[in-house]
Amino acid sequence: MSSIEIKDLHASVDGNEILRGLTLTVPKGEVHAIMGPNGSGKSTLAKVMAGHEDYQVSSGEVLLDGKNLLEMNVDARARAGLFLAFQYPAEIPGVSNANFLRAALQARLPEGEEIDAVAFYKQMYDRMDELGIDRKFTGRSVNEGFSGGEKKRNEILQMTMLEPKYAVLDETDSGLDIDALKVVAEGVNAMRSPERGFLVITHYQRLLDYIVPDHVHVLSGGRIIRSGDKGLALELEEKGYDWVKEEQLATT
């Protein structure tokens, strides 16, 4: 029950089926990596889980601790404990980081209850210091004019503030230099706990040197074609995605 369970998920965008029977379980306390070539459905999986309206689910289930996520709207999924770190975080002009985080936390409180502003700011500043985010960013509009690295750090800041049960990191490494990658990975590693599950989506093995996964899955053609331990990522890096695809063909 304490897991995200994806069962035989089929999803399409603009009439093209992208996910074709994807099955995967990420128990709490584990970090699972999904690797796959371009077009394999990695980002589609992240968006479908979060509830993006451009994607239609035709069959299958996504259960968060036994609750069917697919029956919830976007914001209810987030409040149920799911967090998606975006590959391309949107810029929200006029809404400051502080007000944004505050609204997100406020949305998780029972009606009539108000956030303790002092405690909120203290927590936010502490987390920003840990992630090496300048405190002046609190007053700046969410992601507006941020560099690629700043945006990704901001995603991790949001994750640490919202303390989700499960986090999906969609190509968090894309566009990051090695220093920014380390900071982001440290932020994720600090969040690892027996009470939290991670699904790390990436194209390259590099990120997994810093966020070491418990399991690695290869996504191709909209389904998991191979699973293994962290060694699989290294093998992929060495032999390329064609290797698993060929192996897959040989065995089917």
Partner 1 sequence: MTEGLLEGKSVKRSFFDAPEGVDGHLPHWYTEARTAAWKDYEEVPWPKRKHEAWRFADLKKLAFDDIVDAAEVDEAEGADLITRSVALEENAGRIIFANDRLIADPLLDAEFAQKGVIFKPLSQALVEDTDLVRLSFMQEPARLGSVKFAALHRARLRDGIFLYIPKDVSLSRSVEVFHWLSGENAAIFPHSLIVSGPGSSAAIAEYIASAGRQPGFCGGVTDLVAGENSRLTHVRTQNLSEQAHSLHVSSSLAADGANIRAFVLNLGCKWSRSESIARLSGEGAGTDMLAVCIPEDSQEMDMRTLQLHEKTHTTSNLLYKNALYDEARTIFAGLIMVEEGAQHTDAYQTCRNLLMSDQCEANSMPGLEINADQVKCSHGSTAGPITDDELFYLRARGIPESAARQLMTFGFVKGAVDGIGHDALEKVVLEKIDRRFRRILS
Q: Where does this chain touch partner 1 (CB under 8 A) — which range of 7-15, 91-99, 209-217, 229-237?
A: 91-99
Contact between 12 and partner 1 (CB under 8 A)? no
Contact between 109 and partner 1 (CB under 8 A)? no
Q: Where does this chain touch partner 1 (CB under 8 A) — which range of 36-44, 63-71, 103-111, 182-190?
A: 103-111
Contact between 53 and partner 1 (CB under 8 A)? yes
- Kindly state the smallest distance separating residue 245's Cβ from partner 1, in Å: 32
- Kindly state the smallest distance separating residue 15's Cβ from partner 1, in Å: 19
Contact between 14 and partner 1 (CB under 8 A)? no
Contact between 187 and partner 1 (CB under 8 A)? no
If the CB atoms of residues 49 and 216 are measured against partner 1, the closer one turns out to be 49
- Kindly state the smallest distance separating residue 137's Cβ from partner 1, in Å: 15
Contact between 157 and partner 1 (CB under 8 A)? no
Contact between 111 and partner 1 (CB under 8 A)? no
Applying CB under 8 A, which of residues 23, 56, 59, 74 lies at the interface with partner 1? 74
State phi, psi for 146 to the nearest 5 degrees. -75, 150
Q: Please say whether the beta carbons of 115 and 102 come within 8 A.
A: yes
Going by C-alpha positions, the residue among 151, 194, 193 that lies closest to residue 171 is 151
Residues between 119 and 148 with contacts to partner 1, criterion CB under 8 A: 141-142
The rounded distance, in Å, linking the Cα atoms of 249 and 233 is: 20
Instruction: Measure the CA angle with vertex 164, ends 161 and 165; round to 5°.
Output: 150
Contact between 108 and partner 1 (CB under 8 A)? yes
If the CB atoms of residues 51 and 197 are measured against partner 1, the closer one turns out to be 51
If the CB atoms of residues 48 and 208 are measured against partner 1, the closer one turns out to be 48
Contact between 99 and partner 1 (CB under 8 A)? yes
Indicate the residue type of 59: S
* Number of residues counted as binding partner 1 (CB under 8 A): 30
Contact between 234 and partner 1 (CB under 8 A)? no
Cβ burial of 118 (10 Å; 0-12, 13-18, 19+) is exposed
Which residues of this chain interact with partner 1, rule CB under 8 A?
50-53, 73-75, 77-79, 84, 86, 89-96, 99-100, 103-104, 107-108, 141-142, 158, 162
